[in-house]
């Protein structure tokens, strides 16, 4: 069905008072995407031009949506948050389509299928007003408007102000409606503010349609698809559902989650089959994980690509980096803006920052590589540090193919270690090492035979002169 005669209005001007945070709830994140982006992106996908009503923190909401690819969105301001009906009223002069789909901005789990069903039924039945309802027995859903039916009549009653409605009906209002534009033009300006709150309620349009004898339609949806987000507990519940959906999707594509309840996954993460995700992993941003990988427990991977067969050991942190095929990283490794070559090993307590390691290169223990480009099959000894920062600027280190850096080297950048070069353990290197050379820089060792007792005695005498006196007498 074509929705070319439909325009959408998303209500996003509320104060988010129940969140108790400085930031509007509409900019809080669910699985890596802001709450307000969920309805906005869904409507874009359905090619329905959208008006977003903004007010409280409008700059933040507009800036948030500008970061997403939403071509067909315009903004209308509701200067004072005088209720959902008032928000819709503010948008009315900007609407022109035959049918107006209105959505609360805080229902992120809603699906395209449900919106299509609502629009189709509304048009098919030529209703003046249609809306989504859901069954809920739970007293914890007392924040929702209740749908109260008496014979042919139907109205929505806000339980906040009329607690009796809660016992009268187990159907709640989802906050998603379709109205005929002609009905809104006639009726919306006539709505009186609620006497208790002083707000104009969009929900009063349903009772008004009924009173006029106009047709009102409903469709029923599962509660978990229409949950609203009014406080941080709702946000947690909704994110939990969203995450379960994402994990189920990847399970259906052959990804093994050892403890799915313990994994955090963003919307834009993609994972190929035969990969195992161990407990406690946090996979965020635009991360892609290839086929047959193992992502070790408590690893955090953000905006990175992990190619097929890579082994990420537990507690690794990988940010904006690439790990090539069959490479091994961790445990306790940290990669920032770096690349690890095919079959390379970046081991425990190794940090790479703006650096690359070529195929089969190994840095297995306790190393820092900053602004460093390492060739293929190089070996970086334990404890090696590239000293890239002189306090003012950063400098580059180049370690060429098959070079072998001895343990505990300090490479003072800028510096180049040539192909096949070898450096001695404990060296502090300030100059380039040519291809095939051996370079060592440390003070020579001196040894004095049978000197250890004398050394101990002299040290004791210096530190505790009073204790050393009697010893001399006794001798
Ligand atoms: C609303 C419905 C309730 C329904 C529930 C579903 C009303 C009066 N009540 O209650 O029947 O069960 O949604 O989730 O509509 N907003 C504005 N301007 C305002 C006030 C709110 O733009 O002046 C926006 C908010 O930013 C939010 C949306 O409207 O995105 C809904 O407002 P909210 O306060 O969350 O309404 P509920 O109390 O949840
Ligand atoms: Ca709400």
Q: Which domains does the chain have, with CATH numbers?
A: 6-226 (3.90.550.10), 255-439 (2.160.10.10)
Ligand 1 pocket test target in 18, 83, 103, 104 with most atoms within 8 Å of CB: 104
Q: Whose CA is nearest to atom 28 of ligand 1?
A: 104
Q: Is 252 helix (H, G, I), strand (E, B) or coil?
A: helix
pLDDT of residue 262: 97
Concatenated DSSP letters of 16-83:
-GGG-SSS-GGGSEETTEETTHHHHHHHHHTT--EEEEEBTBHHHHHHHHHTS--TTEEEEE-SS---
Q: Which of 36, 84, 102, 176 to mutate to test the pocket of ligand 1 (most atoms within 8 A of CB)?
A: 84
Closest approach atom of ligand 1 to CA 175: 6
The ligand 1 atom at the shortest distance from the C-alpha of residue 145 is 11
Q: Looking at ligand 1, which atom is closest to the CA of residue 86?
A: 23
Ligand number nearest CA of 169 is: 1
Axis crossing angle, helix 112-124 with helix 37-45, rounded to the nearest 10 = 60
Q: How many angstroms separate the CA atoms of 464 and 399, rounded? A: 50
Residues with Cβ < 8 Å from 22, sequence gap 6 or more? none
CA distance 72 to 51: 9
- The residue whose C-alpha atom lies closest to atom 13 belonging to ligand 1 is 175
- Interval between CA 249 and ligand 2 midpoint (Å): 27
List phi, psi (to 5°) of 177. Answer: -135, 160
Ligand nearest to the CA of 11: 1
Closest listed ligand to the CA of 56:
1
Which atom belonging to ligand 1 lies closest to the Cα atom of 85?
15
Helix axes 58-66, 37-45, angle to 10 degrees: 40
Which ligand lies nearest to the CA atom of residue 13 in the structure?
Answer: 1
**Res 161: pLDDT:** 74
In this predicted structure, what is the pLDDT of residue 475?
Answer: 44
pLDDT on residue 153:
83
Report how far residue 101's alpha carbon sits from residue 115's, in angstroms, rounded to the nearest whole number: 9
- pLDDT for 306 equals 99
Paired with 312 in beta bridges are 295, 329
* The pLDDT of residue 417: 98
CA of 391 to the centre of ligand 2 (A): 52
pLDDT of residue 149: 85
Asked whether the beta carbons of 31 and 243 are under 8 A apart, the reply is yes
- pLDDT of 141 reads 62
Top mutation candidate among 8, 10, 12, 14 for ligand 1, by most atoms within 8 Å of CB? 14
CA distance 101 to 124: 15
The residues that are catalytic are 365
Residue 203 Cα to ligand 1 middle (Å): 9
Which residue CA neighbors atom 22 of ligand 1 most closely?
A: 13
Cβ of 318: how many Cβ atoms within 10 Å? 29
CA of 182 to the centre of ligand 2 (A): 26
Which of 175, 194, 202, 235 best tests ligand 1's pocket when mutated (most atoms within 8 Å of CB)? 175
What span, in angstroms and rounded, lies between the C-alpha atoms of 344 and 241?
38
Which amino acids bring their CB within 6 angstroms of ligand 1? 11-14, 53, 78, 81-84, 86-87, 104-107, 143-145, 156, 158, 172-175, 201-203, 228, 230
**Per-residue model confidence as pLDDT tens for the chain (475 residues):** 779 999 999 999 999 999 999 999 999 999 999 999 999 999 999 999 999 999 999 999 999 999 998 999 999 999 999 999 999 999 999 999 999 999 999 999 999 999 999 999 999 999 999 999 999 877 666 689 999 988 878 899 987 777 776 677 789 999 999 999 999 999 999 999 998 889 999 999 999 999 999 999 999 999 999 999 999 999 999 999 999 999 999 999 999 999 999 999 999 999 999 999 999 999 999 999 999 999 999 999 999 999 999 999 999 999 999 999 999 999 999 999 999 999 999 999 999 999 999 999 999 999 999 999 999 999 999 999 999 999 999 999 999 999 999 999 999 999 999 999 999 999 999 999 999 999 999 999 999 999 999 999 999 999 988 876 555 444 4
Closest ligand 1 atom to residue 24 Cα is: 26
Give me ligand 2 centre to Cα 158, in Å: 12
Atom of ligand 1 nearest to the CA of 12: 26
């Amino acid at each position: 069905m074509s929705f070319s005669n439909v325009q959408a209005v998303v209500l996003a001007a509320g104060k988010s008072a129940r969140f108790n945070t400085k930031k509007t709830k509409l900019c809080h994140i669910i699985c890596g995407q802001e709450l307000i982006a969920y309805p906005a992106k869904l409507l874009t996908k359905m090619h329905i031009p959208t008006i977003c009503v903004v007010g409280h923190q409008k700059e933040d909401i507009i800036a948030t949506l500008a970061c997403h690819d939403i071509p067909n969105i315009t903004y209308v301001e509701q200067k004072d948050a005088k209720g959902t009906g008032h928000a819709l009223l503010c948008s009315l002069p900007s609407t022109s389509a035959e049918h107006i789909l209105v959505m609360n901005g805080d229902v992120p789990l809603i699906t395209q299928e449900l919106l299509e069903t609502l629009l189709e039924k509304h048009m098919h039945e030529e209703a003046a007003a249609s809306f989504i309802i859901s069954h809920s027995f739970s007293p914890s859903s007392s924040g929702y408007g209740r749908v109260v039916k008496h014979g042919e009549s139907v109205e929505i009653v806000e339980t906040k102000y009329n607690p009796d409605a809660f016992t009268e009906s187990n159907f709640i209002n989802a906050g998603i409606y379709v109205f005929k534009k002609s009905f809104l033009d006639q009726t919306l300006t006539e709505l009186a503010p609620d006497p208790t709150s002083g707000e104009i309620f969009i929900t009063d349009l349903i009772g008004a349609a009924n009173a006029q004898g106009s047709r009102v339609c409903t469709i029923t949806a599962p509660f978990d698809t229409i949950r609203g987000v009014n406080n941080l507990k709702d946000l947690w519940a909704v994110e939990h559902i969203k995450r379960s959906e994402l994990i189920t999707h990847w399970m259906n594509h052959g990804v093994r989650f050892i403890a799915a309840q313990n994994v955090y996954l963003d919307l834009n993460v993609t994972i190929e089959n035969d990969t195992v995700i161990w407990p406690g992993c946090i996979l965020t941003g635009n991360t892609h994980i290839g086929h047959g990988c193992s992502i070790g427990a408590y690893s955090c991977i953000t905006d990175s690509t992990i190619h097929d067969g890579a082994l990420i050991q537990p507690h690794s942190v990988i940010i904006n980096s690439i790990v090539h095929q069959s490479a091994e990283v961790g445990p306790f490794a940290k990669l920032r803006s770096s690349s690890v070559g095919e079959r390379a090993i970046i081991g425990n307590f190794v940090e790479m920052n703006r650096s690359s390691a070529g195929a089969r290169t190994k840095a297995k223990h306790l190393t820092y590589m900053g602004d460093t480009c390492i060739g293929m099959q190089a070996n970086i000894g334990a404890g090696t540090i590239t000293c890239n920062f002189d306090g003012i600027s950063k400098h580059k280190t180049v370690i060429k193919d098959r070079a072998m850096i001895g343990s505990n080297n300090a490479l003072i950048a800028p510096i180049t270690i040539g192909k096949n070069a070898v450096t001695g353990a404990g060296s502090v290197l300030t100059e380039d090492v040519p291809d095939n050379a051996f370079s060592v820089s440390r003070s020579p060792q001196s040894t004095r035979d049978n000197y250890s007792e004398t050394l101990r005695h002299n040290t004791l005498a210096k530190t505790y002169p009073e204790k050393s006196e009697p010893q001399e007498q006794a001798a």
